């Protein structure tokens, strides 16, 4: 079973954590705040 070959374990884990960290940073810094701003502006348009 290729999943149990330990030679590339460190490689997999390093890649997974680097990709996940970049994704969390980009989402929380740039993408998700944009959603909040968008939803707030929609609420203002509806209320005004």
The Cβ of residue 18 has, within 10 Å, a number of other Cβ atoms equal to 10
Judged by the rule CB under 8 A, the positions of this chain that interact with another protein are 1-5, 8-9, 11-13, 15-17, 19-20, 22-24, 26-28, 31-32, 34-35, 38, 41-42, 45
Min. distance of Cβ 47 from another protein in angstroms?
14
Q: What is the DSSP letter of 48?
A: -
Helices assigned H by DSSP within 1-48? 9-26, 32-47
Min. distance of Cβ 48 from another protein in angstroms?
13
Q: Phi/psi of residue 35, each to 5°?
A: -60, -45
Q: Which is nearer to another protein, 45 or 47 (CB)?
A: 45
């Amino acid at each position: 079973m290729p999943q149990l070959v330990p030679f590339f374990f460190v490689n997999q884990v390093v890649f997974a954590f680097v990709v996940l960290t970049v994704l969390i940073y980009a989402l929380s810094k740039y993408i998700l705040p944009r959603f909040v701003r968008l939803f707030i502006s929609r609420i203002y348009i509806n209320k005004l």
